[in-house]
Homo-oligomer: A and B are copies of this chain.
C-alpha cells in the first residue's frame, strides 16, 4: 500500500490551530442505575441514535438532569481552546434555547463558531447520557437539526486557515453531514493542511466500516480511536493486531486504552504512554475527546509525539474526575504543571 504525499505539518500563516466539525449537541446528564439501562433496553457504554419519540419517552422516564454543551468534536475543540489553542467549530444548531446554550458555551471559550443556526426544522440535538455508578456512560442521541449540516456550511477559507481539520466519525451518520465531511477533508488536503479523524464509537465504526477504512487510507493524517474502535475498524480480536494494521495507513494514530494508557504510532515510531492517575473516576463521558484535545494541542505546538500524548492523558484525567464531558479545571495550568511550560 502506498501513502499519498503528505502535507507539511505546519503550513505557514494559519489563523487557527484546529477547526472542528461535528454534531452540535447539548448533553442531558443524569445518574442512573444499571437496572434503568436494562429496563429500557439501552446498550451500556455505547452511543445509540434515537428518534424524537424515543427521546421524549426516555426523558420522561429519567431522573432530574443537568444540561451541558457536548458533542464529541465540540468537546475536543472546547478543551483545546481552554488549553490555549486558536480554534473554530462548524456544526448545526436551531435558533432555539438549547442552540443558544451550545453557541454561548463554545464562544465563551474564544472559539470562532459562525455556522448559521437553522430557523426551521427539528430542534437542537441532545444526547441523554446515563452515568452509572461504575462511571460508565451510556449515550442516547437525538440528532435533531444536526442532520441539516451540509456541504454549504463548510467555509473553505476557514479550512484553509486551520492547521488541522478535525472531524468526528459520528458525522458519517447524517447523510448531508457526510458530504460536509468529505468536502472539508478534500479542502484541507488541497490547501496542504492536515485532516484528523476520531472514530467516535465502535458501533459507529460498524455502521460505516468500509468507508472509514477508505477514508483513513486516503484522507486522514491523524487518527484518534480507542481500543474497541480500532479493533472494530480492522475486525481483529486483539489490540496488537489492530496496531499493526493501522501502522502505515495514516501519518499518526493515537490509540487510547482507558486505564491502560495510550499508544501512538507514526511510521517506525511507537510510544506507549501510561494513563494519568485519577483520584476517583466519576464519569468517563468525554475522556477520548479530552485526550484528543491535549494531543492536538501538543501536535500543533511542537511537542514530540510522546509529550503530546502525555498532554492528552492529563486532559482525559481531568474530565473523568467529574460529571460532564468538558473540563472544569484550568487545563492549561494542569498540563504546564506536569509537563513544564507549554
Residues of B within 8 A of A108 (CB): 62-65
Closest Cβ of chain B: how far from A32's Cβ, in Å? 11
Given A96-B97, A97-B98, A65-B104 contact (CB < 8 Å): yes
Residues of B within 8 A of A105 (CB): 64-65
Taking CB atoms and an 8 Å cut-off, the chain A residues in 310-334 that contact chain B are 324, 326, 328
| Residue A109 interfacial (CB < 8 Å) | yes
Residue of B nearest to A78 (CB): B64
Residues of B within 8 A of A202 (CB): none
Residue of B nearest to A326 (CB): B64
Residues of B within 8 A of A324 (CB): 66
Contact A104 B67 (CB under 8 A): no
Residue of B nearest to A68 (CB): B66
Residues of B within 8 A of A59 (CB): 104
Question: Residue-by-residue, is A118-156 near B (CB-CB < 8 Å gives 1, otherwise 0)?
Answer: 000001100000000000000000000000000000000
8 Å CB contact of A123 from B64, B97, B124: B97
Closest Cβ of chain B: how far from A121's Cβ, in Å? 15
Bound CA–CA A251/B215 (angstroms): 74
Taking CB atoms and an 8 Å cut-off, the chain A residues in 68-113 that contact chain B are 68-69, 78, 96-98, 101, 104-106, 108-109
Contact A104 B66 (CB under 8 A): no
Bound CA–CA A67/B67 (angstroms): 5
Residue of B nearest to A104 (CB): B59
Closest Cβ of chain B: how far from A52's Cβ, in Å? 13
| Residue A1 interfacial (CB < 8 Å) | no
Residue of B nearest to A105 (CB): B64
| Residue A60 interfacial (CB < 8 Å) | yes
Bound CA–CA A226/B97 (angstroms): 34
Given A68-B66, A324-B66, A60-B104 contact (CB < 8 Å): yes
Contact B66 A67 (CB under 8 A): yes
Taking CB atoms and an 8 Å cut-off, the chain A residues in 36-74 that contact chain B are 59-60, 62-69
Residues of B within 8 A of A31 (CB): 328
Question: Residue-by-residue, is A3-15 near B (CB-CB < 8 Å gives 1, otherwise 0)?
Answer: 0000000000000
Bound CA–CA A105/B101 (angstroms): 18
Residue of B nearest to A62 (CB): B108
Residue of B nearest to A123 (CB): B97
Residue of B nearest to A109 (CB): B64
Residues of B within 8 A of A65 (CB): 101, 104-105, 108
Bound CA–CA A104/B66 (angstroms): 11
Residues of B within 8 A of A64 (CB): 69, 78, 104-106, 108-109, 326
Residues of B within 8 A of A68 (CB): 66-67
- Pairs A–B under 8 Å by Cβ, sample size 19: A59-B104, A62-B108, A63-B108, A63-B109, A64-B78, A64-B104, A64-B108, A64-B109, A65-B104, A65-B105, A65-B108, A66-B67, A67-B67, A67-B68, A67-B101, A96-B96, A96-B97, A97-B123, A97-B124
**Smallest CB-CB A-B distances: 6 pairs:** A67-B67, A64-B105, A97-B97, A66-B68, A63-B108, A64-B108
Given A66-B66, A66-B67, A66-B324, 14 extra CB contacts under 8 A: A59-B104, A60-B104, A63-B109, A64-B69, A64-B78, A65-B101, A65-B105, A66-B68, A67-B68, A67-B101, A96-B96, A97-B97, A97-B98, A97-B124
